[in-house]
Amino acid sequence: MPVDAVAEARGGFAALDSCVHCGFCLQACPTFLATGDEADSPRGRIELMRALERGELTADDPYVVEHLDRCLGCRGCEPVCPSGVGYGHGLEAARELIAAARPLPWLARAALAALTTPGLSGLVYALARALRVTGIPGWLAGWGRVGFAMGMLASTAPTGGKRRNGAVRGGRSHAAPTASDRPLPPLTALLFRGCIMDGLFSHVHDATVRALTVNGYEVTDVPGQVCCGALHVHAGLRDAARALARRNLSAFGEGDEPIVVNSAGCGALLKQYGDLLDLTPAASAGARFAARVRDVTELLAARGPVPGAPLDTRVAYDPPCHLLHAQRIAEPPLQMFRAIPVLQLVATPDAAQCCGSAGLFTLVQPGMSRAVLAPKVASLREAAPQVVATGNPGCLMQLGAGLRAARIPARTRHPVELLDDSYRAAGYYA
């Protein structure tokens, strides 16, 4: 069989072949730092995945399941690997085998259904917003399972300026914000809404539309779009993710307009639709779709961004793993922050480490999730920012819950919300 055909037959496991066990990945792995167990490191897990592929271990082996389940999938090991190991692809292949060999834990199944199923998720998000507005989640925030969940919900509440015109609804373009000087002719961008972002962070969508409009984009809604499928992929349910991907391909069509995303986890998977749909009739369409996907900070950096008014705020930027490690986007968010005069960016030593959210990980692995979060919370206490900025809904909720539980007087916000505040203060909005 030709080499390429062998690699295709092996799927994501082929991406592990270049591992030479050098150990550079160990200090980049949050779970290894938390436990010191080699089986909780990328190098150790690669050995488990290789044994799984060879049939030396089975997909329902408790030891295999335990240590692969305890992986955050943050992919922090990939940028530091001198051999270019595609750890994330191998992990997805292994989790697909595990999901086929044993039922998904009930809590993960319930969370997936509640967060991503059309109809049901709308009801769940409506109830969550109704509870959020009472202020009760903030009062109950703490380190216990219920208290942490309440802190996560409280952290989704809009803060800063009041919502203004600029939301994109109903399949048409909106350009409610106006700028005194738009440097370039307008370009169309299509907004990817997602599930959690649309259900609990619609104010971030509004800020995204306003900020992009100031920078010369006309942002258009796309009816018929669905969840990106990232949570399903992380759980090993790739067939379910492929079904969602095909629906999104149909909704967004074959145009060449950029698809703007403000969730790092969604963006990382959307940019991998070609790989997700590989060996299917939709593979080429998936690759074309993936080439159109842009994080909001990428689009803003591409056209400026236009400077705003000063914000005298201390901000700790915590880059999401799936933005920094998976998408390799580091400079555009910083360029966006530089468009806000006076804003102070404070550095923390472990900003590039995972916060422990990792999709459903914080629900199904609460002990490990909190262990990974703890050093980051300690660093933020010492840095004393007013705002912790991060561009992923899970990270916003995880860090926000940790700050509330630790009684640290800082709030979490999406970076584009800060630019939106700066633009509002500058008088760019009608």
Provide the CATH number for the domain around residue 80.
Answer: 1.10.1060.10
Q: Is 418 helix (H, G, I), strand (E, B) or coil?
A: helix
Has residue 23 been placed in a domain? yes
Has residue 276 been placed in a domain? no
Task: List, in sequence order, every residue forming a beta bridge with 187; answer none if it has no partner.
Answer: 217
Has residue 32 been placed in a domain? yes
Has residue 239 been placed in a domain? no
- C-alpha to C-alpha distance for 115 and 321, rounded to whole angstroms: 21
Number of folded domains that form the chain: 2
Pairing of strands 173-174, 217-220: antiparallel
Residue 307: how many other CB atoms lie within 10 Å:
14
Nearest residue to 361 via CA among 70, 61, 75: 70
Which of 84, 101, 118 corresponds to the end of one domain? Answer: 101
Tokens 């966006």 sit at which residue?
Answer: 336
Has residue 144 been placed in a domain? no
Domain holding 64, by residue range, is: 3-101
Token code pair at residue 65: 């399941």
Has residue 169 been placed in a domain? no
Alpha helices, H only, 26-105:
30-35, 42-54, 62-69, 77-80, 87-101
Q: Is 218 helix (H, G, I), strand (E, B) or coil?
A: strand
393: CATH: 3.40.50
- C-alpha to C-alpha distance for 324 and 74, rounded to whole angstroms: 10
Which of 55, 78, 101 corresponds to the end of one domain? Answer: 101
Instruction: Tell me the whole-structure pTM to 2 decimals.
Output: 0.91
Tokens 């074309």 sit at which residue?
Answer: 288
Which of 48, 74, 101 corresponds to the end of one domain? Answer: 101
Has residue 62 been placed in a domain? yes
Task: List, in sequence order, every residue forming a beta bridge with 189; answer none if it has no partner.
Answer: 219
Residue 366: how many other CB atoms lie within 10 Å:
16
Phi and psi angles of residue 279, each rounded to the nearest 5 degrees, phi first: 70, 15
- C-alpha to C-alpha distance for 350 and 352, rounded to whole angstroms: 5
Has residue 27 been placed in a domain? yes
Tens place of pLDDT per residue across the chain (430 aa): 444 444 455 678 999 999 999 999 999 999 999 999 999 999 999 999 999 999 999 999 999 999 999 999 999 999 999 999 999 999 999 999 999 999 888 999 999 999 999 889 999 999 999 999 999 999 999 999 999 999 999 999 998 644 443 334 333 333 445 544 555 667 899 999 999 999 999 999 999 999 999 999 999 999 999 999 999 999 999 999 999 999 999 999 999 999 999 999 999 999 999 999 988 898 999 999 999 999 999 999 998 899 999 999 999 999 999 999 999 999 999 999 999 999 999 999 999 999 999 989 999 999 999 999 999 999 999 999 999 999 999 999 999 999 999 999 999 999 999 999 999 999 999 7
